[in-house]
Amino acid sequence: MVKGVGSLRPDALVLVLLAAWWVINLLQAAFTGLANDEAYYWYFSKHLDWGYFDHPPMVAVLVWLSSWLPGALGIRFCATLLQPLYLLLFWHLIRPADATRRDAVLYVLLCFSQPLLQLYGFLAVPDAPLMFCTVLFLWAWQRFHRSNTLADALLMGLAVALLGYSKYHGALVVLLVLLSQPRIFCRPRLYVAALVALVLYLPHLWWQYSHEWVSLRYHLAGRNAWEYKPSFMFEYLATLLVLFNPLWLYHYGRALFSRRHATVPMRGALVWTVAGFALFFLVATRNGHAQPQWLLPMALPLTALLFYEARSSRYVRVAAWVCGGLFLVVRVLAVTNPMGMKGELWNQEATYSQIAEVANGRPVLFMQNYTAPAKYAYYTGGTAFCSPYYFTRESQWRFDTADRAFHGREVVVGNMNNNGQSHSIELADGHVFNYDIVPDFVPMRELRVEHIDPIDIRLPWLQPADSSRQADSLPPFSLALRVYNPYSYDIVPSAERPIRINFWFHWEQHSAHSAMALLTDTLRAHACTEIHPQMYMPLQVPDGTHNSGFAIGYTFYPPASNTPVQRTTVVRDSVGLAVRGDW
Domain assignment present for 5? yes
Q: pLDDT digit string (tens) for 322-358?
A: 999 999 999 999 888 888 888 888 999 999 999 999 9
Whether 423 and 516 map to the same domain: the answer is no
Q: What is the mean pLDDT of the chain?
A: 90
Whether 418 and 458 map to the same domain: the answer is no
Whether 462 and 536 map to the same domain: the answer is yes
- Nearest 5°: the CA angle 204, 208, 210 is 115
Domain assignment present for 148? no
Give the pairing type, strands 384-387 and 364-367: parallel
Whether 455 and 575 map to the same domain: the answer is yes
Residues 6+ apart with CB under 8 A from 33: 72, 344, 345, 346, 347, 348, 349
Domain assignment present for 92? yes
Whether 394 and 458 map to the same domain: the answer is no
Report which of residues 14 and 260 the model is more confident about.
Answer: 14
Whether 424 and 531 map to the same domain: the answer is no
At 515, which CATH number? 2.60.40
Q: pLDDT digit string (tens) for 4-54?
A: 566 789 999 999 999 999 999 999 999 999 999 999 999 999 999 999 999
Domain assignment present for 210? no
Q: In the prediction, which pLDDT does 567 show?
A: 86
Closest C-alpha to 52, from 201, 295, 216, 200: 216
Whether 91 and 9 map to the same domain: the answer is yes
Whether 433 and 493 map to the same domain: the answer is no
CA distance 533 to 498: 14
Closest C-alpha to 366, from 444, 433, 445, 419: 433
pLDDT over 80 (residue 2): no
Instruction: Give the CA dihedral 560, 562, 568, 574, nearest 10 degrees.
Output: -80
**Whole-angstrom Cα Rg for the chain:** 28
Mean pLDDT of the 359-374 span = 93
Mean pLDDT of the 92-115 span = 94
By CB atoms closer than 10 A (0-12, 13-18, 19+), residue 420 is: exposed
pLDDT over 50 (residue 467): no
Domain assignment present for 424? yes
**For residue 274, what are the CA distances in angstroms to 112, 170, 184, 295?**
19, 14, 20, 9
Whether 403 and 517 map to the same domain: the answer is no
At which of 391, 414, 438 does a domain end?
Answer: 438
pLDDT over 60 (residue 221): yes
CA distance 244 to 301: 11
CA distance 349 to 107: 38
Instruction: Report H helices in 97-169.
Output: 101-112, 115-119, 127-147, 150-166
How many residues does the structure list for the chain? 583
Mean pLDDT of the 448-466 span = 82
pLDDT over 90 (residue 241): no
Domain assignment present for 112? yes
For residues 22 and 330, is the Cβ–Cβ distance under 8 A?
no
Q: Identify the sign of the CA torsion 519, 524, 525, 531.
A: negative
Domain assignment present for 509? yes
Q: In the prediction, which pLDDT does 260 show?
A: 67
Whether 511 and 412 map to the same domain: the answer is no
In this prediction, residue 430 has a pLDDT band, given cuts at 50, 70 and 90, of confident
Domain assignment present for 289? no
pLDDT over 80 (residue 60): yes
Whether 517 and 491 map to the same domain: the answer is yes
Instruction: State the residue range of the domain holding 393.
Output: 348-438
Across the beta sheet with 576-581, the strand order is: 455-460, 576-581, 566-572, 544-554, 499-508, 511-518
Instruction: Put residue 551 in one of left, alpha, beta given phi > 0 → left and psi -120 to 50 → alpha.
Output: beta
Phi and psi at 431, nearest 5°, equal: -80, 170
Whether 452 and 431 map to the same domain: the answer is no
For residues 551 and 515, is the Cβ–Cβ distance under 8 A?
no
Task: Return the bridge partners of 207, or none.
Answer: none
Based on the structure, what is the number of domains in the chain? 3
